[in-house]
Amino acid sequence: MSIEIKLPEPTFSIKFGEFRSHYDDINGKGGVYFLYDVNDSLLYIGKSSNLYARVNQHINGHGRSAAFAKLIYRIDVILESNDLYRELYETYAINTLRPIYNASKVFNAKPSDKQYDIQTKIDELVTEREFMRHEIYRLAGKFGTDVYYDLEDDLTEEESENWAELAYLRREYRKLNENITELRKKINGK
């Protein structure tokens, strides 16, 4: 006997800045939500009978969401009023898509040594990426709200060095994300 589950396409795909404008679309409605970062890495999957209230808690960093609240860039929502379907979709999606911050509902078959080594490398890269992200924010903060500059402007030597370091960190950050994505594909057998 086999069970086949097919996730519906998202009803809404909402950018972080547009979330509040979708209040009427999702407030008081049930469904499953998928939280992504700016690089389309899946951060978290959840379900709720009131999507607006629950996603808003994540955005505001309540509870365990504090670890990823500032990373949320996009929210995909599947509207589903049936409690059982929500539960099935959420559990299936978590175990199939393996979001970064979901710990519960994950079926953990004993990993092979190779999978364990790959997961250890992923964990190391994620830690390095988080450190790099904080360094990028620190450097960008030196420039105030203007994170871009006009090439015609003269920069002090310190500003020039900071811009060069910021550009380097951003390139390295992208490379880390690519490595993490590739390793996740290996561990999931894709």
Domain end point (choices 97, 132, 163):
97
- Give the Cα separation of 169 and 150 in Å (integer): 20
pLDDT at residue 55 above 90? yes
What confidence tier does 154 reach under pLDDT thresholds 50, 70, 90? low
Q: Does 82 share its domain with 21?
A: yes
Q: What is the pTM of this model?
A: 0.59
pLDDT at residue 54 above 70? yes
Residue 148 lies in a domain: yes
Residue 104 lies in a domain: no
Contact 97, 88 (CB under 8 A): no
Tally of domains within the chain:
2
Residue 3 lies in a domain: no
Residue 107 lies in a domain: no
pLDDT at residue 8 above 80? yes
Work out the average pLDDT over 110-133: 76
Residue 159 lies in a domain: yes
Q: φ, ψ for residue 124 (rounded to 5)?
A: -65, -45
Q: What is the pLDDT of residue 152?
A: 52
Q: Does 171 share its domain with 133?
A: yes
Work out the average pLDDT over 38-55: 95
The share of the chain scoring above pLDDT 90, in percent, equals 43
Residue 180 lies in a domain: yes
Residue 128 lies in a domain: yes
pLDDT at residue 109 above 60? no
Q: Does 125 share its domain with 166?
A: yes
Which residue segment(s) compose the domain that 67 sits in?
12-97
Residue 50 lies in a domain: yes
The share of the chain scoring above pLDDT 70, in percent, equals 85
Work out the average pLDDT over 150-165: 67
Nearest to 177 by CA among 128, 107, 116: 128
Work out the average pLDDT over 102-122: 72
Domain end point (choices 73, 97, 121):
97
Contact 125, 148 (CB under 8 A): no
